């Protein structure tokens, strides 16, 4: 069922973006994610989000885990609103889950919200106990083009390949 086309002002009025008071969820909450209509559907363009201060909790010890999260996607009809993404990622702060599960959950929640043509989520977790964990999750729609992209990137994945040095950000 096609969504009703609404004006940009109507679309933006209920977003968290621009609110004078920001409420931070103390529990994991996928309902914090918001989407807006892609003004260029049918065009193929990458969008990348880099969260340099992701935190979650180890489900066994309750100790904090720190990571950089890289979200690379190609939108279809909807795109992710960035402030809602920030609030959503912050909601993991008191969430106890393994690194791999956090990354897969982020990927799945975004897919459920915007149904992108392609998405990959990479976590670069700070080593604990001498072990660094870099989980990777991806999704592609059913078209052969994006299934091939997913397969190629998955088969060629290596830590650091689809992320970037932070010195390039600052």
Catalytic residue numbers, as ranges? 58, 65
Q: What angle do CA 159, 106, 158 make, to 5 degrees?
A: 10
Question: Which 8-state DSSP code applies to residue 39?
Answer: S
State how beta strands 78-80 and 136-140 pair: unpaired
Separation of alpha carbons 37 and 17, rounded Å: 15
Q: How is residue 135 written in tokens? A: 């989980």
Share of the chain residues as helix, strand and coil, in percent rounded to the nearest 5: 30, 25, 45
Report the candidate in 4, 37, 35 with the shortest Cα–Cα distance to residue 109: 35
């Amino acid at each position: 069922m096609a969504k009703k086309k609404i004006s940009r002002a109507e679309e933006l009025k209920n977003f968290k973006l621009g609110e004078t008071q920001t409420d931070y969820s103390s529990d994991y909450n996928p309902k914090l994610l918001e989407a807006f209509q892609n003004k260029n559907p049918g065009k193929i363009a990458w969008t990348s989000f880099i969260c340099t201060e992701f935190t979650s909790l180890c489900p066994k010890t309750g100790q904090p885990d720190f990571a950089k999260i890289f979200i690379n996607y190609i939108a279809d009809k909807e795109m992710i609103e960035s402030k809602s993404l920030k609030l959503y990622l912050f909601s993991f702060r008191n969430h106890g889950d393994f690194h791999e599960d956090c990354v897969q959950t982020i990927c799945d929640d975004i897919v459920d919200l915007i149904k992108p043509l392609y998405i990959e989520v990479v976590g670069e977790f700070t080593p604990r106990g001498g072990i660094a964990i870099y989980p990777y999750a991806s999704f592609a729609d059913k078209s052969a083009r994006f299934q091939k992209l997913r397969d190629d990137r998955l088969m060629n994945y290596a830590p650091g390949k689809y992320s970037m040095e932070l010195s390039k950000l600052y």
